[in-house]
Each structure stands twice: as structure tokens, then as C-alpha cells.
Amino acid sequence: MIEIDFTGKTVLVTGGAGFVGSNVVGRIVRTGGKVIVLDDLFTGDLTNIDQDIPYEFVEGSVTDYNLVRDLMTRVDYVVHLAARNIIISTKNPMEDYRTNIGGTLNILMAARETQPKGIVYSSSASIYGNPRILPIMEDEGPVTFSPYSVSKLAGENYCYAFYETFFVPVSVVRYSNIYGPKQNPSNPYCGVISKFIMSIDQGISPKVHGDGHQTRDFTYVDDAVDGTLMALLSPRADGMMFNIGSGAEISILDLVRNLNELMGKDVGCEHIDRRDIDNIRRRVLNIERARTRLRWQPRVTLREGLRRTIDWYYAIKKKTA
């Protein structure tokens, strides 16, 4: 297992005020590192970052090449998480292009000059579309159903090109439906689990798009952070992609049932029309490459992860009451 230790190292975390990014920032600082957060606060929020940890914040965008280059002269590693998410990307494909593709290219171009020890780029399982074989392996051919998946795949391809052509030490992690503490349900762009928890707590049936039999591979945020930082630190990860998931699938209906049970409620769910982004029927990732090459594996079961997320939700609710 790759030891996550950033003692004496400085890391640039793009999108560091977001859900995943703030968890990454906390882990790096608590393992001895210094962090520079670059975030335009479009969906990020500085309150996501634990207030008891030191970090440097720069408000700005990865679309600003000069800013990116200047920040990268000061760091040893880069965790590139900044992106427009799937909902925003579908509404505004041009902004998706500028941020997800152009911003990633800026990181890689700057890396040619600044020569960081490592970069990890966060991609998405959405690039797989509806796969032929489950669980999905990394060499499954991509099928891009949304502007978001197009841009994330383009970012991946730029990473591979810069690794092969310019020897930039970059690896790729493909996330699957990350959830957990700091995924604020009041954010209209957050994932379904936090939204479902808030609805159930309020006695409102969660809104399920379609029949609810679609499956997803939900990944607890701490496991995703581990996989990301292990890929960043491992020289065996350069030029490679890794699925980061739980390796287990669950239907949305079963997810709602689990949440109702854990929260002591019985509000069922309300079926509503599918959205234009609801075009993936089943998703579960094969995570053997990360297991064997990084010695990474998820440690938090879905049931335990849901319990932790519910506890966090109630703690925040009590704090803000």
C-alpha cells in the first residue's frame, strides 16, 4: 500500500473548495503537507474546508494559464479536480469546454515548464456510457453520452499525450458517484444521496428519475481520496488510469430503502420523468487495477458510508439550527 505522506511537500489542489477537493485538502494537510487551493467558487465553498487546518486560498480559474503556471512554480504536486459538473455542462457545453478541456490543457502545459513530481487528474465513470460487460474495466471503450463525458475523456487523452510526448508525470482516476460528508444537499449540483437524506429527514419522498431500477456504484469520499492520493504519489501510476469505485452496484430504489431504514423513516419515493443526463442503466466498476498496482481498496461499505453521511447531515443541521 502506498503511504500517504506529504511531509515537507506543497500541493496545488484545483477545485479544492468543492466536495471532493475539500476532503483532499484535509487529508494532505493532516499528513504533513502544505496546500494551495485554486477555486473560482462557482460551486465550491470555503466553508467546506475544515477551519482548523492551514491552507492558502487563491480565487481564480484553471482557465487562466498565467495564474496556473505561476502557482505551479511553487508546488511539488498537483491534484486537478476543478471542473464544471455534469448538470452544468449539459446546460452550457461551451463553459464545459473552456473549463474541463481548456483548464486541463493549461495544467499540462504549465507542467512542461514547472516539472512537478506528479499530477493526478480526476475523470469520471460517465465516459463508459452503457457498457457491454460488467463490472467495467478500464479498457472498456468509451461511449460519451453527455458534454461532460466528452470533456472528461478529452482531458484524459491530453494527459496520456503529455505523458508520452513530454514525459509529464500524470495519472488518471475515474470516479464513480462519490458521496459522503461535505456533499451539501442545499447545493443544487450535489449528488443524490445528500438530497435523498434531506428529503427523508423532512418527511418528503425523494424524487427518483425514471423507474429507479437503474444501478450505480456509490463510492465513499474517504476511499476516493485515498485512491486519488495513492495514484498521485505512486511512480507506478504515471501514464495510467484507475477506476475508483466500490466494486458493488445498488439500484436507486434499494438506496432509498436503505436510507429510510437507517433514518427510521418510511417515506418511499416519488417517480418523476428522466432527465437528459439519466441515460446510464447500470454502473459498477472493476477496481482490480487499483488493487494490484496501488494496493488500494475501498474500506467503507455502503451501509457504513450512508450511516456516516447521515450523522454528518444531522450534525450540520444541529449546528446551523
In this structure, the strands spanning 250-251 and 215-216 are antiparallel
CB-based contacts of 37, cutoff 8 Å, min separation 6: 13, 16, 17, 21, 25, 49, 55, 56, 57, 58
Given the residues 121, 128, 148, 313, the one annotated as active site: 148
CB-based contacts of 63, cutoff 8 Å, min separation 6: 98, 99, 102, 103, 106
Residue with cell 494559464: 65
In this structure, the strands spanning 34-39 and 10-14 are parallel
What gap in Å lies between CA 42 and CA 17, rounded to an integer?
A: 10
Q: Is 57 helix (H, G, I), strand (E, B) or coil?
A: strand
Ramachandran quadrant class, 95 (left: phi over 0; alpha: psi -120 to 50; beta: rest):
alpha
Ramachandran quadrant class, 177 (left: phi over 0; alpha: psi -120 to 50; beta: rest):
left
CB-based contacts of 225, cutoff 8 Å, min separation 6: 20, 23, 24, 27
What gap in Å lies between CA 96 and CA 200, rounded to an integer?
A: 32
179 belongs to the catalytic site? no
CB of 176 within 8 A of CB of 164?
no
What gap in Å lies between CA 27 and CA 230, rounded to an integer?
A: 12
In the numeric block, which cell numbers belong to residue 134?
460488467
* Residues annotated as catalytic (active site), given as ranges: 148
